[in-house]
Each structure stands twice: as structure tokens, then as C-alpha cells.
Structure 1
Amino acid sequence: MRLFRSPNAWQNWFLNFQRSFLILLAPWLVSVLAQGAGRLYLLTTYAPPGTYAALPQDINRTLAVGLLFDMKVAAIAFSAPLLAALVLAARPAAHARWLRCLPGLGAVLATLFAASTVVSVYYFATFSRSIDLFVFGLMDDDTQAILTTLWHGYPVLRTLALLAALLGATFWLVRRWGAHVLRARLARRALAPSALRLALIIALTVLACRGSLGTFPLNKDDTGISSLRLLNDITPNGISAFFWALSERDNDKRFTPVTNAEGEALYQRFLGRPGHGLQPFMATTGANPEARARPPHVVLQIMESMGHHMNQFDRPGRDLLGALRPHWRQDWRFDRFLSEGNGTIDSLSRLLVRSPVLATSQSSAATATFASNAFAPFLARGYRVVFVTSGAATWRNLGRFATHLGAQEFADQLTLRQRYPEAQPGAWGVPDEYMFRYIADRLARADRDGEPLFVIALSTTHHPPFLVPEGGLRGGLDLIDIERLPYYANWTGLADAFDTLRYANDQLGRFLTGLKASAQGGRTIVAVTGDHNILGVDYARDSDAVLARAVPFYLYVPPGYRGQSTYDPSRPGSHKDILPTLYHLSLPDTPYFRSGCDLLAARPDPQWCFGFNNPRLLITRDGAYQHDRPGRIQPWAGPTGLALAPEQAASPAQAAEQARLGAYGPLLQWQINYQVQHQVALRADRP
């Protein structure tokens, strides 16, 4: 206590510190309440009817643990000004100036917490989950497009006004409360009681910053509260979820060293046999006389947000398919089919290089050589690879990445605007119709030149804020029955979403109609899938686990290239199976990287034929397995469709299959790390 010349100085220091602590309690409490209000809003808005009656203990625990998270992050934020008060309390003049700053500082901090709650609520409303890695789209995606989406999709001005009002109200409250604290006569106490009170304040602050009396501070593991995912998702506040995403972001772009022993163990689990390096992934297509004599053009069209679900609402009087209808009904289509990723770049990374590392195109491995390069088999057979998107080449570094992988041409919205001056850009790119026109023109030119093309294309129009391009149909769809469904209960722009879906489907259908009628139609294979299901839909029921991740896989295969193909629409699959299927249809006797199966094989390989959505869901002929429910299966509710029957205990054979398939995700992670780690060897083997 030598810092204080007398007991009176000590008492003055402690009284000053006490006053700062008491004043800061007001904005801290506002911060906690603001975060709790957001959680209550999400609970009352998005929880299925009857949730409290069915899961009262889970809801009470969600609110209690959520309150601890709110207290924790607020305590951490307010501990900085509290520490400053601890230092400045010994200097009366400095402390007086500090007290004048506290109302403004406290109000700003409380408003920032309220703003984080608004962001968290909007994020959940859009993606049906708490803040995660995708939030970094504000930095990694097209920022202008993101801001346009926010402006059209959310009440931005009202939100800003509300936050401004909260700032003013909190400032007024803290000033009033601070004046009351300063007027109050705090008792002077002897050294020992004062030291005990100081220790108590510090202990309470530290405890609040930990959020727990246990061995470990409150953390992400404490959000596993209920079988209802909604309750787990809304337990953390936006600040906690953001920092977890931030810590995962670096890991998401990081490739870690792996060992051969780890790979051998995973091969043993998944394939039931040992393997070394990447050899178990290597396969070769069979003989294909038709494709050898006249190599077909191949088009892989990835449609933005083309989920299985919304297209099922097409019916007489509600035309959602437009020109796509005859093709959708006549050609081959797999409906028990999953997107592998849950975002556009996630699915693209997996399709292009079989990488579960989300942003591979922006990572340290963006210039690596990949044995899993999707373009390599086509390039080896003399194909010209063309990547076309109605969006921007700069999005996620996609243009450079695709070019590095071997795409000889990359056409984006700038290319399309130069070629078609009437193409007016929207939030994410030019309308999809210009992308389809470009593909049709490019196929016609390649056919005249006798050059086989592999075209991979990415659409953008059916993306929030769901702006229908000029000339597209708007309104006129009877959506009353759809609006009543719990899936869309909290949507405000449902009509716009169905309008852009109708537009995208119709443009795809027009492209297919024109292609089939053209000279090159008889030698062009077209595959269509969605990058992911539309986001923000409330799939709360267990029976909708597959519906939530389902995208269609459509195939137009001219009769001359069908060969021995066996079409069975009940076969389950996912994105991993698209390229193997296309390789077998178009490339004779060609090596390729196999991490999926040929869905048109007479006898599909049972080891590779299943549907996979990272990280939670697997589907087989028997039904669906969820990652966090070992030994349990949800059988299909019928011979067709995506509905699932109630969960039940898996049979011994099903439990063994679930355990085997559980190694697939870790095996994918291992192989991409192995590839990045062994670049010298891969470059030596490069075709």
C-alpha cells in the first residue's frame, strides 16, 4: 500500500473505483438485455409450435446458458474501462474527467452489443443458423452485392434509427444513474473491509468473464443443449459466434501436415482394405466406342440456389418451370441427391478439386497442383475447358483459380456485357439468359471447329435480393398455400424468390430447347445441379433432414452416347458423383480421381455410391444417417421422394455401414492435406 500516503488516500481511491464500477453496471446491464432480447425474438419467431410444451427443460437451459454468454462477452468488453478506472481512481483530476466520459463510452458499447444482436438475428433469418464462416462473405465476396442484398432484404433505415435511439436512451440512462451514484454517500471503510470488497469486485468480474465456475470457461461445447438444432444455434450471442467463426477461418484456409499412417487407417475404415498415398482414389473409365469415335461436348451447369424443394410447388396454374418443364419430365433426373457443400464456394471447391477446405481458391494452395483436378481428365483427352459465369471472375478469386486448374477460357459478366451490350448488371452479375446465350454460341462455334468442349457454368440470378431481370415475369403466382407452410413462415420476400426461380428455370429450359434443336444437340451432354438448397428456410422437422440439403441432378444424354447406361432414379447420390458419371459417359479409357461413383453404371460400386452432405448428413438406399446420431437411421418414408420416417435403431448391418461412411469426411480432409503436402511428387506425376 505504499502507493498511498495515508489511509485517507486509500479510501478515496477505493471510493472512486467503486463509483466507476457502479456507473458501468448500467450500460453493462443494457448490453446483456439487448443480447437476450435477440435470443427471445429468435425463439418466439422460429421455434416450431408447441416447442415449449415438448422441450421445456431444453428451452430453459438455452435461455440460462445464453444469459451466461451475454454476461460473459459484456463483462469482457466492460473490463477494459473498469481496469482504466482502477488506474485512474488514484488521481482525482484524471478520475473526474474519466467519469465524464463514462456515459458516452458505456452508451457506445451497449449500442455495439445491440448492433451485434441485430446482425445475428438477420444472419439467422437468412441462413437458419448462427453466425459462422459464411459471415466473411462481407470481405471475401462481392461487397457491393452484399450491401445491395442487405438494402433490399432488410429494414436498414429502421434498424439504424432504432440503434440511434438506443444510443441516446442509454446515454441518458447512464448519465442519470451516474449522477445518482455520485450523489450517494458511500461509507468509508477501514483497509481490510475495503480490500475485501475490492477483491470481491475483481472476483465477480473475472467470474463473469469466464462465464463458468467449472474447470473450463464457457465455450462452444456448452451450446450442445438440445436435439432441436434451433435451440443450440440461438444459445450463443452474435459476438461469441463471430469469434468462433474467426478462429475457424484461419483453420478453414489452413492445410495441416498428415501422415501415411493416418491415411491407411482411414482407408481401412472406409474401404475395408489398406491403401497408400492417393492410390485408392485412382480409377479409369471403361471403353466407350461412341465417345471415342465422336467425343461429345459436355456442359455442367451449376444453378444458384436450385434446391429440390421449391420446384416441387410447380403445378397447373402455378408455372415455376416454364420452358424447363418438358426436359425436367422427359430426361434423366436424380432427386435423392444432396449438395456436398452448404454454400456456393463450398460446393465449388469440392467439385473442382475435391477440397472440403471452404475457400481453397483464396488459400495458400490456390496455385497448387491437384491430382483431384476436375478438368484434368478432359484436358488429357484434348478437350477445351471453358468456365462461364453470369457473376464476376474476381468473386472468391474464381477466375484465377479456374484458369490455374486448366480452363483455357473464363467468361464472366464483363465478357458477357461486352458481347451483349444490352445485358444490365444486377446485384451479383448480369441476368442468366446471357450466360446461356454465350454457352450456346460457344458450343455452336466449337462444333463447327470440330473441337470438343467441357463447359462448366455458374448462374447468379436466383440469389438474394431476388431481383427479377428486365423483361422477366413478376408476380401472378398464387402462393397462398405456400405462405402458410412453416418453412416460409418468416419470409418477407417469398414472391420475389419464386419469381427469380421461375426466371432461372425458364432460361435453363430455353437453353435446352435450343440446344436439342441445334446441330450440336445430338453430341452434347448436359448436367444440371444446384450449388445448394435455398438458404433461410426453416427445416425444423427431423423428417425434413434430407429435404433441407437436397438439390436435383438432371442429365440430358443424347441417345448415341447412352451406351450401357442404366438409369435408376431411386439411386441416392451427391455432388461427388457428378463428374465420375460424366467421365464415364464422355471419356474412354481415361484415368480420373474417384471419390464418388458412376450413377449410370449397371452395377454401381457400393463403396462409393451414397449421398454426402458435409458435415452432418449421409443417405443410402436404406435412408438417412446423421453424424451426431450413431446407431440410428431415418428410413425413407416411401419408395420415392425425400420424406423420412421416424428415426429408429439401425440394424447391425446399417450401423456398420454408418460407421464406414463416417470415415468419408475425414478421408476427404486427409487427401486434400496430403495433396498440398506432397506437391513435388504431384507435379512430377502431372499429365
Structure 2
Amino acid sequence: MYGSKIDIFIFGLKDDDTNAILSIIFDDYPIIKIIFLALFFGVFAFWLNIKIMHLKFKAIKLNKYLFVVLNLFLIYAYIIALRGHFTYNALRASSYEFSIIKAFNEISTNPLMALSWAYKEYRGQQHFKSVDLAELKDFEKELFTMFDSTYKNANHAKNHIYLNILESFGLNMLEFSNEKHNLLGRLDRHFKEDFVFKRFLSSANNTIESLNRLVFLSPNIISNGLMQKKILKYTPLQVYKNAGYDIVFVYSGNASWYNLGNYFRYQGADLIIDENTLMSEFSEVRATKHKYGIADEFMYKKIYSIFKNATKPTLVISLSISTHRPYVHESKEKLFDENLVEKEILDQFIIKNPKNALKTYAYANDEFGKFLDLVKGSDFKENIIIAATGDHRFRDIKMDLNHEKAFAYSVPFYLYVPKKLQDNIYYDKNRIGSHKDIFPTLYNLTLSEVEYLSLGGKSMLLKPENKRLEFGFNEMVWMDENGVYSNDKGYYFENNSTIKDTNKAFELDIYHKDFAKLYKEFNLYQLAYRLGIAK
């Protein structure tokens, strides 16, 4: 389902909505046929093995020394086939990849080994080792400081903030949008009017992981773990709560998913709204419900009313759901002619009904565009900042890892900033970034001389001050102005306005070679520190 070996997401079958996941798997994949073919092949292999074992071979007499050498060679070849050459440790979860072709990497481990790694990672998410503060300081010396501060800002805590995290809002899907079939709908106008960054990566490739990294600055999922009731220091929720904001979390799915509703409350949210709230307020919502949630349009109606009736600065964080399998939400209007979509585009999908996915993607973007139309015509249009991004790539599209090592994981970062707040704005649409930069951007637009946990994040609308912060990071790859980095190699970009690469590799210096490993370790250490288990 995720196009990979068995990994930690298999435990989503237990922790997530099991019936919904199984239903989608059976809808999207020929499971019965696969099981039948697997059994048939198993029987055939068993029969073939018996035949081979009963073959009669002519006895061959070998010199005993040659016999020993040949057997040693066979044992050596067998070991190499199992685990790779002795100079390459293929048996570790952290280094099983050996090829730029993802499929080769994913089949390099057998299922039991992969399940063992996944289980250890799953258990590790619920247990945290005490860390040494001196080591944390060492990471800061190697990389950058954990904390930063906003500049003096006359508009401190006076403006509403809305962060919209859209399901599967990947640039790999958006690149199919053109004049013939506009997949942005009404959002197209706002993409042209406002700030948009497209050389931008999601932090992870799964909704819950991206949400944790973006909103809680946590590399681990802790909303349903042992630490779920512990206050996590320095989250954006805490920063804005301390500045006097009301905090609202809106989800067009069920807030019990990964215990998110309760966790947002523990971390300071004043109000939680999910599909149940929306179904009780809007009579037509129930007809749009699918296995994972309801149509996004009702989420936007509720959010608009929240801002319209707000009496103090309010931060709303929303998580949409429409662009999620089974792709049933679509606009009542004809946003584009699906019959005009080129076969070359349809062939890029790995699902049976790509047109449904295109219509759902267009619907979700159009509804967000409608919401922006309303805001820009409202009486609070000068007192709100709106940011939007995708939680991860659009998964049901093929990945060309020869030229899309970073692009395959890219999402847009959209920003609406009222004209009166645009003093001293620096905008470079080709600037590189990722989820880590979203809240530092919002902090610097809305707060004055406030310290915040940055973790390498910078404001995308201020001039670059520290070259080391000019990077984008996804759990699979990372990039800076020189190129994209994967599997200890760098690859040049096609040009400075895209993050597609030429597949031409270059060697890395020590900093770039060690960066991804150091940054991931740094993230684990800072989380332990914020949970109060540092010594």
C-alpha cells in the first residue's frame, strides 16, 4: 500500500482504523488474485524442489582440496547473497539501501527482517533514553543552535493565523495542472497573487509523522504513547498560547485518530473540532462521509465562522482529508474535462481510477480557494495570515528516482500576508525550504522578540543570514542550493528553479555526508530534552 518493504506503518493496521484500511486495500488491489497466485507459485516451487531433489546425477570424484575450496567458495557466495559484501553492512535498518532504484532497496530485506526492524522502531517510539545535555551542545556546534528569536514587531499578537495542512497536496500531482485541466480551481488565482514556494519538502511521508514534526516538532509519534499527557515544551501551540492566542484544531476526520483530539488539548488547544462536530452542525455533511472523514468544504465553513466571530487573536490549525483514498469527493461544478487528460498523465498513476484522484485533488484545492475568496472579501482580511502546505506527496503516482529524488517528496508552501504586514518582506520564490521553516516564518510575521525552538528553521520571508539554514529536509532526502542528497551522494539540480535533478552525482564533503544522520540524532535529543529526560 505504501510501496515499500514492511515498515512501522504496518502497525497503523492496529492503531488506525483497521476496517477502513482493509477496505481500501481490497478496493484498490486484487488481493484474492494475489493470494491465489502466491499459493499457486508456492505449490509449483514445492513440486519443482521435489523433482530436483530426486534427480539422479552421475557421481563426480573431486580432489579433497578442491572439494574444500569449492565448498568454502559456495559458503562465501551464499553469505554475500544473504547480507551483502563484508565491507557493506546490509543488515542494518539504517543502511539497507544500496541503489538509487527504490524497488531494489525495498526487496533487499526479507519480510521477517523488515518486520523485526519495524517492531523495534515502533517500540522505540514509546521509550526515550535519557540524553546528556553536553551532547546536545555538541550537536549545536556541529549544526546550528536549537533556539532563535523573532525581531521587534509592532504587530505583536494582533493578527489571526491559519495553518492548513492539506492531505496529499503534493507537487508531483500539481505539475499535471495546466490551462487545459486546471487542478487548482479557484486556488489558482491565489497562487498567482500571494507567496508560493515550490522548492519545498514535507518533513515526512505519512500524515501523522508530518503533523508531529510540523506542529509538535517531534520526530516521534507521541500523541498515543506513554508520554501523551506530558506537556511538550516549546511547541508552536505553547508559543502562541503564551502570546495570548486562542488555539483551535480542526480535522475533517475523527479526532480519536492517534488520540489527536486529546493530545492537542494536553498541549494547550482551547477547542477541538472534528467530523462529529461538523456532522452535528451541518445536516448535509453525513452524505459526504467516507472511511476517513468528510468533505473539506464543511471544515472551511466552520473555520471561516471561527475567525469571523473571534474576539481575540486566534491560531487555527487544520488537517484536511478529502484527497485521501478512496477519492470520492468531487465538486458539483465541472472543474475540468477529465476526457481531455492526456494518456501520458494517466499512465503516471499506479491506481485503477486515476481520473477519480484528479477530480478529488481538484475539488480539495478549489474548496480551499473558495475559502480564500471569502477571507479576502471579509472585514478581517487585513488581520489574518494564512499558510498552507501538504502533509506529504501524492502517493499514487509513480516515482522517477533518476530525476525526482527530492521532487518526489515535494509539497508547496503557500502564504497569504495582508499588504499592511508586508514591510521588509524578502521574497525569493526559488528559495529552498521544508516544513521546519513554516512556523519560524509565521513567528517572525506575528510575534515580537519571542524565543522559539527553530531546529534549523528560518523565516522564508526574511533575507538569508545563516547559509547553513538554507536547506530542506525530508526523512528520505535533503537538499540545499547545491543539490539533493541521498545515499551519501549529491545530485545536481536541473536548474535553480526546480528540485528535479540530473542524476549526475558529485562527491560530498564531511559536513554534507554526515548531515542527515546528525540532524536526525539532534532531533531525537531535543525531543528527550523537551520531555524532561535529559541529564
Alignment TM class, shorter chain as reference: 0.7 to 0.9
Corresponding residue of 2:106: 233
**More helix by percentage:** 1
Query: In the alignment, is the contact (CA less than 8 A) between 1:388 and 1:410 conserved in 2?
Result: yes
CA displacement at 1:666 relative to structure 2: 1.4
Partner of residue 190 from structure 2, selected from 319, 327, 334 = 327
Partner of residue 230 from structure 2, selected from 343, 346, 368 = 368
CA displacement at 1:638 relative to structure 2: 1.1
User: What does residue range 252-271 of structure 1 map to in structure 2 within 5 Å?
Assistant: 252-271=125-144
Query: In the alignment, is the contact (CA less than 8 A) between 1:128 and 1:536 conserved in 2?
Result: no
Partner of residue 299 from structure 2, selected from 427, 435, 438 = 435
CA displacement at 1:267 relative to structure 2: 1.8
User: What does residue range 27-46 of structure 1 map to in structure 2 within 5 Å?
Assistant: none
Corresponding residue of 2:519: 664
Distance 1:374 1:220 in 2: 35
Check 1:234–1:213 CA distance in 2 against 1; reply closer, same or farther (3 A cut). Answer: closer
Structure 2 SS opposite 1:305: coil
CA displacement at 1:455 relative to structure 2: 0.3
CA displacement at 1:625 relative to structure 2: 1.9
Structure 1 SS opposite 2:143: helix
Distance 2:359 2:84 in 1: 53
Corresponding residue of 2:252: 390
Residue-by-residue CA offset, 1:189-223 (whole Å, 9 max, x unaligned): xxxxxxxxxxxxxxx9xx99x96899999945795
Corresponding residue of 1:514: 374
Query: In the alignment, is the contact (CA less than 8 A) between 2:346 and 2:355 conserved in 1?
Result: no
CA displacement at 1:159 relative to structure 2: 4.6
Structure 1 SS opposite 2:469: coil
CA displacement at 1:636 relative to structure 2: 2.0
Corresponding residue of 2:445: 585
Structure 2 SS opposite 1:386: strand
* Alignment-mate amino acid for residue 526 of structure 2: Q
CA displacement at 1:422 relative to structure 2: 0.7
Query: In the alignment, is the contact (CA less than 8 A) between 1:618 and 1:624 conserved in 2?
Result: yes
- Would you say 1:637 and 2:494 are equivalent positions? yes
Query: In the alignment, is the contact (CA less than 8 A) between 1:306 and 1:530 conserved in 2?
Result: yes
Corresponding residue of 1:610: 471
Query: In the alignment, is the contact (CA less than 8 A) between 2:346 and 2:354 conserved in 1?
Result: no
Corresponding residue of 2:240: 378
Query: In the alignment, is the contact (CA less than 8 A) between 1:282 and 1:591 conserved in 2?
Result: yes
Check 1:520–1:136 CA distance in 2 against 1; reply closer, same or farther (3 A cut). Answer: same
* Alignment-mate amino acid for residue 256 of structure 1: K
- Would you say 1:415 and 2:301 are equivalent positions? no
Partner of residue 340 from structure 1, selected from 200, 203, 216 = 203
Distance 1:521 1:260 in 2: 45
CA displacement at 1:403 relative to structure 2: 0.9
Query: In the alignment, is the contact (CA less than 8 A) between 2:131 and 2:533 conserved in 1?
Result: no
Corresponding residue of 1:246: 119
CA displacement at 1:658 relative to structure 2: 5.2
Corresponding residue of 1:649: 506
Instruction: Determine which structure has greater relative contact order: mean sequence separation of CA pairs < 8 Å that are 6+ residues apart, divided by chain length.
Output: 2
Distance 2:506 2:17 in 1: 46
* Alignment-mate amino acid for residue 167 of structure 2: E
CA displacement at 1:142 relative to structure 2: 1.8
Check 1:612–1:163 CA distance in 2 against 1; reply closer, same or farther (3 A cut). Answer: closer
Query: In the alignment, is the contact (CA less than 8 A) between 2:8 and 2:119 conserved in 1?
Result: yes
Distance 1:474 1:238 in 2: 44
Check 1:349–1:320 CA distance in 2 against 1; reply closer, same or farther (3 A cut). Answer: same
CA displacement at 1:498 relative to structure 2: 0.9
Structure 2 SS opposite 1:514: helix
Corresponding residue of 2:69: none
Check 1:386–1:350 CA distance in 2 against 1; reply closer, same or farther (3 A cut). Answer: same
Structure 1 SS opposite 2:531: helix
* Alignment-mate amino acid for residue 99 of structure 2: S
- Would you say 1:557 and 2:420 are equivalent positions? no
Residue-by-residue CA offset, 1:37-78 (whole Å, 9 max, x unaligned): xxxxxxxxxxxxxxxxxxxxxxxxxxxxxxxxxxxxxxxxxx
Check 1:166–1:659 CA distance in 2 against 1; reply closer, same or farther (3 A cut). Answer: closer
User: What does residue range 78-93 of structure 1 map to in structure 2 within 5 Å?
Assistant: none
Distance 1:578 1:501 in 2: 23
- Would you say 1:314 and 2:177 are equivalent positions? yes
Corresponding residue of 2:309: 445
CA displacement at 1:395 relative to structure 2: 0.4
Distance 1:164 1:434 in 2: 46
- Aligned residues: CA RMSD: 3.2
Partner of residue 148 from structure 1, selected from 23, 48, 70 = 23
CA displacement at 1:242 relative to structure 2: 2.4
CA displacement at 1:364 relative to structure 2: 1.4
- Would you say 1:290 and 2:155 are equivalent positions? yes
CA displacement at 1:270 relative to structure 2: 1.1
Query: In the alignment, is the contact (CA less than 8 A) between 1:324 and 1:505 conserved in 2?
Result: yes
CA displacement at 1:623 relative to structure 2: 1.7
Query: In the alignment, is the contact (CA less than 8 A) between 2:90 and 2:97 conserved in 1?
Result: no
Uncovered stretches (5+) of structure 2, i.e. residues with no partner: 55-74
CA displacement at 1:165 relative to structure 2: 7.4
User: Percent identical across equivalent pairs?
Assistant: 29
Residue-by-residue CA offset, 1:102-130 (whole Å, 9 max, x unaligned): xxxxxxxxxxxxxxxxxxxxx3xxx2321
Distance 1:217 1:599 in 2: 39
Structure 1 SS opposite 2:499: coil
* Alignment-mate amino acid for residue 434 of structure 1: F
CA displacement at 1:162 relative to structure 2: 5.8
Distance 2:242 2:440 in 1: 15
- Would you say 1:356 and 2:219 are equivalent positions? yes
TM-score of the superposition, structure 1-length normalised? 0.68
Distance 2:84 2:284 in 1: 65
Uncovered stretches (5+) of structure 1, i.e. residues with no partner: 1-122, 182-203, 272-279, 682-687
Distance 1:522 1:214 in 2: 62
CA displacement at 1:160 relative to structure 2: 6.0
Query: In the alignment, is the contact (CA less than 8 A) between 2:155 and 2:447 conserved in 1?
Result: no
Residue-by-residue CA offset, 1:658-682 (whole Å, 9 max, x unaligned): 5456522211111112222438x9x
Corresponding residue of 1:17: none
Check 1:259–1:160 CA distance in 2 against 1; reply closer, same or farther (3 A cut). Answer: same
Structure 2 SS opposite 1:364: coil
CA displacement at 1:367 relative to structure 2: 1.7
* Alignment-mate amino acid for residue 128 of structure 2: F
Distance 2:239 2:404 in 1: 37
Structure 1 SS opposite 2:403: helix
Query: In the alignment, is the contact (CA less than 8 A) between 1:413 and 1:430 conserved in 2?
Result: yes
Residue-by-residue CA offset, 1:250-271 (whole Å, 9 max, x unaligned): 1133211211232132222113
Check 1:308–1:212 CA distance in 2 against 1; reply closer, same or farther (3 A cut). Answer: closer
Structure 2 SS opposite 1:310: helix
CA displacement at 1:468 relative to structure 2: 2.2
Query: In the alignment, is the contact (CA less than 8 A) between 2:229 and 2:266 conserved in 1?
Result: yes
Corresponding residue of 1:114: none
User: What does residue range 129-140 of structure 1 map to in structure 2 within 5 Å?
Assistant: 129-140=4-15
CA displacement at 1:371 relative to structure 2: 2.2
